[in-house]
Chain A
Amino acid sequence: MKPETIAIIEQYLNDEMTPQERKNFEQQLSADEHLRNDFELYNNINATMSASPNENELRQTLQQMNEKYFTSDAVVKKGSFKKWLAVAASLIFIIAVSFYFLMKNTPSAEKLYAQFAQHTNLNIQLRGTAADSLAQQAATIFNNKDYTNALPLLQKYLQQQPDDIQMKFSEAICYLETGKPAEAEKIFTTVAGGQTAYTETAKWYLALTALKENDLTKCRTALTAIPNTSPYFTKAKALLEELPD
């Protein structure tokens, strides 16, 4: 396919033609089978290779479901004895846990943070750029929870790819985990104000940041800002209930 043909197809797709040019091109498309095939092939290739905008969100959903449905005995056959056994066991567990919390003082912010701050792994999609190996290295270290050593790699990567929001987010988690909550909060606030796959996650992390800093009032405010459409709503509600007065 000639570059000139592609340039014309792109002008058409980008809506950069005059009405007359548009009409001519469409007529040509319906008359010329060769051009039509090229047009379809061009579209096909572009669609196939384009990143899917919400794949990361889907991964988050699937990870949550995986924990629920693939962990031992999480899925129990309906009506079986095992199910009743499971119900009985969970009842005993719930009673035991509530008893424990009733007897003990309400949990500290530190304990709550450890309970609720579970960072999902960083999944790198290869982009075929020179920054790939750096990104992969950073992800491996990050996924090992070695936030001190992941941070400089992420910073280096972000100098080259400042718009990579997934990596920016992971950088913020590293700040949070290495005693720099102010830096973390700055990033989470920016992301929470945007319109990306990470908006809701960032709101949740703003609450976690406040919790880490033991600022319970701020944590409460951040939690109440999480809408019931958010995937973090249930967690936010649970944390809100457990916060000490």
Chain B
Amino acid sequence: MMKLCPGILNTGMFGAVVFPYAVGIFSLIILKRWKRLQWAFFFLSTLFQLFAAYSLFRSGNFGSGISQKFPFALSPIPGLGQSALFFQFTGLGFIFFAGSTIVTLIISIFSLAFNDRDHATGVAPLWTILMGANAGIFFAGDWLSFLISWEVMGWTSFLIIAHGREDSRKAALYYYILSLIGSSAMLAGIFIGVSGSGSMAIADSVRYFSGLWGTRNSLVVLSTLFFTVAFFAKSAVFPFYMWPSLAHAEAPDDFSSFLSGVMIKYGVFGLIAVVLPIYRAGYVGPAVHGVPLYLAVLGWFGVITAVLGTLYAIKQDDMKKLMAYSTVSNIGLIIAALSMNSSLGIAAALFHTFNHMVFKGGIFLSLASVKYRTGEREMHKLGGMAYRMPLSFFTFLICIIAAAGIPPMSGFASKWMIYQALFEKKMLIMAIPAFFASTGSFLYLYRGLHTIYLGQLSNRFAKIKEAPAPMAFAMLIMMFTVMLGGFFPGLVLSPVNSIFTGMGFAHISQDLFSIQGVTTSIRLTSIGTIFMGSFFIVGFLYLIGKKREHVEQLDTYTSGEMPEEWGLTEEKYHYGMHFYEPLEVTIEPFLKGTSMDSLFRRIGYETGKLSGTVKRWFNTPQLGTLVLLIVVVLLVVVLGR
């Protein structure tokens, strides 16, 4: 292999993609019997990817966008000059690759212990293959390798979400159908780009579209719309915001962490890599405050997603669904920031993407360890876990402080930058729903904290223990990463800044400790220090006060009694159901009015009717679907010409 592709860049990228594929297939076929060994191989393959990321980092030149040919070229396609599969090393792809690999490695440590005899799901080989596709998406230089990676990612994640369970199968199908809609839309966009530019390279298509401004605006907008639908479907942006609540909730618990942390970001990557460059220099057309109209609409879709995600999260009783909607809400904010298409906006989006990977990963790991010990997912059945699982509680606490965007944790810095990106373009009205979504996050995050970890500990769980050591270790790393990101934003922002040269953006002004925005600048280290200082001052006050006495929880309010003849038990004493009922009642009409479910159901019904008719014509279902697909594709190509 070394002979075929000299140079570290090549080996690194090639290895990062192909090695996990090989390991995955090997463990799928050979290691069928040894489930634990499969997880060890998954860990090792991710470790290898991290090593590849490190060597790429050492040798890489982020700015130049070097491309390398794949060792095996395809036979020439008539009419297309460039027909080889090749990888491309861009700073953007590298940042995403490195971030996702680091987070996955931490999750894989967790998975080693999580998948014991009682909890094993056997998805390790598929997940290993998925990691190869993960690298492929970020490094793809031409549409064909991008599509292959995208589809491998779609298939493997579909199978992992289903993992052989009946109720998970439905969620997985829902997820896959949305992915399919996205892939078809993307395929249409790719056809237009490839036929226009005469090359399979992604960069050529982008260049082709950017050159069309002023002459064929509607074609460019149509094609970017196709790409946007694909990326929105993958990132669960309005109107596709329903799938995470199903898929994240039904997936294996450790995989949920990956799904919510890493996988949902592919759409963000795609938007930054493909759609945004088209709307840069050379854009001719209507604009709102200097932002192209199309992107402004995209930004509004982002904040609408953020608000809807928040409102749905407030309503949930299932802890994994709650956090899935929280992810939707965060993605909405990221989309809002990046659609400003400025260096501040993209930096904010990337920074929040990375922070979200870590803190949402941490939250899901913490939830997974609660479920590992208790087997419960509905929050009102839990309660008081903090008294038995302090480390999981701390991970959750630190991560939700970050998720709520409260200093001194990492989420604050990136949320602050998202606001600054909106302020820079004077998108002030768009900032109102963003603030709303951000404040709403306190509500659902606190609900999770209270209902799962605090309140009354039920007698059923009086004897449970803290999560096993490797799981605890993985959570600890997540926790420290969140803190580190909050005190030293430069750790993430400096690499982000260094890739901006290659992307043609101005640098944002920041250093290790502080960020300069448009309306003011903040020094995160001093905010953290001030908070710690205040904590010590108040801690001192606490210590000089007279000593406290420990009293059991039930000893005050019910005077030590638990009158069971009234039907009162510890579980019922725990206030967890319908936590925000007054608010739920208030927002219910709004949610009903904006629900996309009925629309999708209608579309599903009509499609069913249509395909039923077609089926009757051809009498075999396969032929009918095939012909329908061919017709759609042909139509798009012909219209695109």
A-B interaction? no
Which residues does A use to contact B, with CB under 8 Å?
none
Which residues does B use to contact A, with CB under 8 Å?
none
